[in-house]
Amino acid sequence: MSTPDNRRIYDFAAVGVGPFNLGLAALSEPVEGVDGIFLERRESFDWHPGMMLEPAHLQVPFMADLVTLADPTSPYSFLNFLKQTGRLYRFYIRENFYPLRAEYNQYCQWVAGQLPSVRFGTAVLDVTHDDGVYRLSVSGPEGPEVLLARRLVLGTGTSPYVPEAAADIVADAAAGRGGVAFHNADYLARKAELQQQRSITILGSGQSAAEIYYELLQESEAHGYQLNWVTRSGRFFPLEYTKLTLEMTSPEYVDYFHSLPQHQRDHLNKTQKNLYKGINSDLIDAIYDLLYTRSISGMVDTQLLTHSSLTAAQWDPEAGIHTLHLQHGEQGTSYTLDSEAVVLATGYGYQEPGFLAGIQDRIARDSAGRFAVDRTYSTGVEPGEIFVQNAELHTHGFVTPDLGMGAYRNSCILREITGREVYPVERSIAFQQFGSPAGMGAQSDVENRTWVPA
């Protein structure tokens, strides 16, 4: 569609090209009558490059690719990537459903390279709204320009989270005023420097922390450092991955979770972290087996500390040591731990992009000031106008960052944009029910929607 002055108006502009918006690009590419553009400030697709450890793999099977669970016939599937790159039989013989993380990154790069709607090296600087059209001021390879779109899809992703107690040592280290302290997002780039230190402490208890600890433990004897792993959790807990639990990554559970009061959803998000932030059980076993093997020849120079929350941290330039102040959650005791290097495997958090400043009046908010995301992933004051990808944990639950739900969410978003069900959207896949049987006769809001063409 064009304006009277012949300027093109896109049906939607998607900002940020991570796996979720890349999946939307792949699914929308063959749909006639849909005109979208995807903008990414980075020069190319690169998914968590700091954590591309050689043996690391996804925690979801290959069917949780960009498109398969929406369209198994799509040419942008992971299996077609393997076929086109001559790796299909090797993957078949490997007999492992879980792609390597580096392999998944290559797959996404392969898809991105085939989609003309995806523009890398293009930063969105500002967005305004006028007469039903969003105006995006961008800076790209062709210089500054203004793009027009009727809808937005926000997929700017999450950023490394640094706890307030560690903010000073990380900032000082980044400015060259401190020691070696950084978020695990920079792990591979800093690994050689890290291993030159006499002691290393990892803070965190998720998959990334476990992968780093295991790799550093394997190489500790060669480098001679002392290794600590600290978590505020009561244990190094595994990711819960039983099949009835996996049914919670379903449209029905999202319906159920979304229907709960805000305070109840917030409570559940605090108690369900083992459903999406735990460690692969095979990796936990491998860590224990390595510790056991090393213990045969003597005590291993490592500590695993649980129930321990970081309350403060200082860098002593004369001693070349970080002092970490820790609080034991159950005993209520305080203690300190000295370490030359600190790696914060403390996860990621969503931060609203600055370019939203000009359209705050177009965004619906909850009582806590967060996006008020409706069941169909829209957070605009006008339904079906602004959509979010991986920014709805507080409204849609722990499935939000799950790669396996990306194709489902994109099918819902495309349905909203086009006014028709382009890809069949599953509504009932679980054997169990999550709400009271008294409500079994009620249909979800999604079921009752009347679709209006774009």
What does the pLDDT look like over 350-385, one tens digit per residue? 999 999 999 999 999 999 999 999 999 999 999 999
CATH superfamily, domain at 162-239+277-346: FAD/NAD(P)-binding domain (3.50.50.60)
The rounded distance, in Å, linking the Cα atoms of 382 and 193 is 51
**pLDDT bucket at 30, cuts 50 / 70 / 90:** very high
Most confident listed range (19-33, 271-285, 424-438): 19-33
pLDDT at residue number 298: 85
**pLDDT bucket at 346, cuts 50 / 70 / 90:** very high
Tens digit of pLDDT for each residue in 38-71?
A: 999 999 999 988 888 888 899 999 999 999 999 9
The rounded distance, in Å, linking the Cα atoms of 327 and 336 is 9
Report the predicted TM-score, pTM, of the whole model to 2 decimal places. 0.91
pLDDT at residue number 273: 82
Q: What is the token pair recorded at 44?
A: 């190319």
The rounded distance, in Å, linking the Cα atoms of 18 and 101 is 14
Tens digit of pLDDT for each residue in 98-147?
A: 999 999 999 999 999 999 999 999 999 999 999 999 999 999 998 999 99
> What are the structural domain ranges in the chain?
9-159+349-448, 162-239+277-346
**% of the chain surpassing 90 pLDDT:** 87
Task: Considering only residues 40 and 300, tell me which one the structure prediction assigns the higher pLDDT.
Answer: 40
pLDDT at residue number 5: 64
**pLDDT bucket at 4, cuts 50 / 70 / 90:** low
Bridge pairing between strands 321-328 and 308-316: antiparallel
Query: Residue 311 above 80 pLDDT?
Result: yes
Query: Residue 443 above 50 pLDDT?
Result: no
**Which numeric CATH code is attached to 9-159+349-448?**
3.50.50.60
CATH fold match for the domains 9-159+349-448 and 162-239+277-346 = yes
**pLDDT bucket at 452, cuts 50 / 70 / 90:** very low
Mean pLDDT score, 85-109? 96
CA dihedral 372, 65, 410, 70 (to 10 degrees): -140
Kind and range of the H or E element at 12? strand 12-15
pLDDT at residue number 446: 46
The rounded distance, in Å, linking the Cα atoms of 233 and 239 is 14
Chain-wide mean pLDDT for the chain?
93
Tens digit of pLDDT for each residue in 191-203?
A: 999 999 999 999 9
